[in-house]
């Protein structure tokens, strides 16, 4: 792999913009308003990338379609994190054969993390011949050029060269909704947790310049966005590659210092790099949401070591203690992997005891899935799936009980929420800690902070009624 990251030159991006104009002209000349459908799998990094893909498509004259039927371009932005995620993509790509038969001019593109794996690209080349183009995360900025090539030659295009990654500033973005926005602060990951495919498909850690980030956030606040989430696989590494003497806590403090009424969040933090300074910065600013997603993965030291996580259970717990000491209201969430190769039932029980101790507000729980090319995929994995399922169910049951107890604790309290949408005639909003709240109210409250009295709860959400405004 090439180990140098590159900043894409502005001339190269200007060229892509010119290609967009040409594609727009091409459609205009035919008197057609073309339609595009972008389907996103995986995490917020992919959601953020899809906003760029939509932005580039809009610049090429495309309107966004609700589904794949009849769309002139379909882009599937894929995820490689677990086997199940990949199977869903293969199933959906397979089904597109029929969609394309009904609309023969349709161009189908696959991108995202699965396309960062050479064996997947080979499989698409050989067995999914209705796919017109593939690009991996490093080549995303070249999408207009690839689209034009596919449109003008009718040939398949593959842009999946391996790379340490690049930073491309100034790609147009088409965001969904006008209340919450994601802002990538860095790309890639250097951690190489032994089970994880991300460092292989997204390249080395690279940080955006703080001025670029501040400029983007200022623009969002001016346009009325009220909830900004800073994104990165491990935001705590922010700035290490820049040499500007700015770390993530500094960046956070600077953004929180911008004028306006908004909440600022971030994800994800690796526990080995989360600092007291970060917690102190959060505690000091009323605009930084008191919410922390701190994936622990396992509560057992041997398993953590095998996972190459580089912290111990005790270190993790002391971090949580410190966070709660400076922010007693802190909402904590985490990710857990059940059934890592060689994990025993006793070791799994250490994870159970950890979650009982920490009492997370919510957990994202996964059964280990071997990923080709990662060290863990080579480790002996003797525990049968059924047994892992049983552990998984124990974990979910324990966490549901905790989440429900925590939710019950909200009932009768008044909390500030940001109304962010409406579903089936009911408004939805989030608390500062990210809890989902449903309430009755007019849709023009969307984008507003509202005080709500919590009247009821389920495992996953709260119900409330607005206090008189
Ligand atoms: N960068 C983030 C999260 C990346 S992926 C972090 O470090 O926390 C999100 C979650 O998917 C991980 O936290 C982990 O719990 C889970 N995950 C990653 N690889 C996995 C695998 N091979 N099998 C099962 N779960 C996995
Ligand atoms: Fe994967 Fe670990 Fe990097 Fe997260 S920190 S993306 S789990 S390698
Ligand atoms: Fe999936 Fe890639 Fe995110 S593998 S979880 S979409 S970084």
Compute the Cα dihedral for 302, 307, 312, 313 and give only its sign: negative
Residue 445 sits in a domain whose CATH number is: 2.40.50.140
The verdict on the CB of residue 368 being under 6 Å from ligand 1 is yes
Domain count of the chain?
3
- Which pLDDT score, from 0 to 100, does residue 374 have? 98
Shortest-distance atom of ligand 3 to CA 41:
6
End residue of a domain, out of 382, 408, 434:
408
Distance of CA 426 to the CA centre of its chain: 26
Task: Tell me: cis bond preceding 268? Omega within 30 of 0 counts.
Answer: yes
At CA 42, angle to CA 126 and CA 405, rounded to 5? Answer: 150
**Residue 428 to residue 418: CA distance in whole angstroms:** 9
Q: Which of ligand 3's atoms lies nearest the C-alpha of 46?
A: 6
Indicate if 280 and 325 belong to the same structural domain. Answer: yes
CA distance 282 to 185: 17
pLDDT in tens, the chain (469 residues): 445 667 899 999 999 999 999 999 999 999 999 999 999 999 999 999 999 999 999 999 999 999 999 899 999 999 999 999 999 999 999 999 999 999 999 999 999 999 999 999 999 999 999 999 999 999 999 999 999 999 999 999 999 988 888 899 999 999 988 999 999 999 999 999 999 999 999 999 999 999 999 999 999 999 999 999 999 999 999 999 999 999 999 999 999 999 999 999 999 999 999 999 999 999 999 999 999 999 999 999 999 999 999 999 999 999 999 999 999 999 999 999 999 999 999 999 999 999 999 999 999 999 999 999 999 999 999 999 999 999 999 999 999 999 999 999 999 999 999 999 998 889 999 999 999 999 999 999 999 999 999 999 987 889 999 986 5
> Among the three residues 140, 166, 192, which one is the final residue of a domain in this structure?
166
Whether 215 and 84 share a structural domain: no
90 & 148 share domain: yes
Whether the CB-CB separation of 46 and 79 falls below 8 Å is answered with yes
What is the C-alpha separation between 146 and 152, in angstroms, rounded? 10
Please tell me if the CB atom of residue 233 comes closer than 6 angstroms to any atom of ligand 2: yes
How far apart are alpha carbons 295 and 355 in whole angstroms? 12
Whether residue 354 sits in one domain with residue 449 = no
Asked if residue 198 belongs to a domain, the reply is: yes
**Same domain? 119 vs 235:** no
Question: Tell me, what CATH number does 89's domain have?
Answer: 3.40.50.12160
Contact indicator for 169, 192 with CB cutoff of 8 Å: no
Is residue 364 assigned to a domain?
Answer: yes
Place of tokens 């405004």: 469
Question: Could you identify the atom of ligand 1 that is nearest to the CA of residue 189?
Answer: 1
1 lies in a domain?
A: no
In this structure, the answer to whether residues 378 and 436 fall within a common structural domain is no
102 and 182 housed in the same domain: no
Tokens for 364, please give them.
Answer: 């994202």
> What per-residue confidence (pLDDT) applies to 1?
47
**Residue 162 and residue 373 in contact, taking contact as beta carbons nearer than 8 Å:** no
Examine residue 450 and state whether it is found in any structural domain, yes or no: yes
Residues 6+ apart with CB under 8 A from 303: 297, 340, 342, 343, 347, 350
Q: Which structural domain, as residue segments, surrounds residue 434?
A: 414-466
Q: Pick the last residue of a domain from 139, 166, 193.
A: 166
**Closest residue by CA, ligand 1 atom 10:** 335
């Amino acid at each position: 792999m090439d180990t140098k990251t590159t900043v894409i030159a502005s001339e190269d991006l200007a060229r892509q913009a010119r290609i967009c104009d040409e594609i727009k002209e091409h459609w205009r000349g035919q008197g057609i308003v073309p339609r595009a459908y972008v389907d996103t799998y995986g995490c917020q990094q992919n959601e953020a990338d899809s906003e760029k893909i939509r932005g580039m498509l809009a610049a090429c004259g495309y309107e966004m379609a609700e589904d794949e039927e009849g769309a002139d371009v379909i882009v599937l932005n894929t995820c490689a994190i677990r086997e199940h995620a990949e199977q869903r993509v293969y199933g959906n790509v397979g089904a597109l054969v029929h969609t394309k038969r009904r609309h023969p001019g349709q161009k189908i593109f696959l991108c995202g993390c699965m396309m960062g794996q050479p064996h997947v690209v080979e499989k698409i080349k050989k067995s999914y011949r209705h796919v017109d183009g593939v690009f991996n995360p490093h080549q995303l900025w070249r999408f207009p050029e690839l689209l034009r090539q596919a449109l003008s030659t009718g040939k398949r295009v593959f842009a999946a060269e391996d790379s340490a990654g690049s930073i491309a500033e100034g790609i147009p973005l088409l965001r969904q909704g006008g209340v919450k926005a994601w802002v990538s602060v860095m790309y890639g990951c250097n951690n190489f947790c032994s089970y994880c495919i991300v460092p292989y498909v997204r390249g080395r850690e690279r940080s955006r310049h703080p001025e670029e980030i501040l400029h983007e956030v200022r623009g969002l606040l001016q346009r009325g966005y009220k909830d900004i989430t800073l994104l990165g696989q491990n935001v705590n590494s922010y700035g290490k590659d820049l040499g500007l003497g700015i770390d993530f806590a500094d960046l956070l403090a600077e953004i929180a210092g911008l004028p306006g009424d908004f909440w600022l969040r971030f994800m994800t933090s690796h526990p080995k790099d989360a600092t007291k300074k970060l917690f102190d910065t959060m505690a000091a600013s009323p605009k930084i949401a008191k919410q922390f997603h701190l994936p622990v993965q396992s509560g057992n030291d041997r398993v953590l070591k095998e996972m190459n996580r580089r912290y111990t259970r005790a270190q993790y717990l002391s971090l949580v203690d410190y966070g709660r000491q400076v922010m007693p209201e802190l909402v904590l969430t985490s990710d857990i992997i059940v059934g890592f190769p060689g994990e025993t039932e006793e070791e799994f029980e250490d994870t159970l005891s950890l979650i009982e101790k920490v009492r997370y507000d919510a957990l994202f729980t996964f059964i280990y899935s071997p990923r080709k090319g990662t060290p863990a995929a080579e480790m002996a994995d003797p525990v049968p799936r059924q047994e892992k399922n049983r552990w998984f169910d124990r974990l979910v049951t324990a966490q549901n009980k905790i989440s429900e107890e925590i939710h019950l604790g909200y009932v009768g309290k008044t909390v500030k929420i940001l109304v962010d949408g409406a579903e089936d005639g009911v408004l939805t909003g989030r608390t500062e800690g990210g809890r989902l709240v449903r309430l009755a109210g007019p849709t023009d409250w969307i984008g507003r902070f509202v005080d709500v009295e919590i009247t009821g709860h389920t495992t996953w959400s709260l119900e409330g009624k607005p206090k008189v405004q």
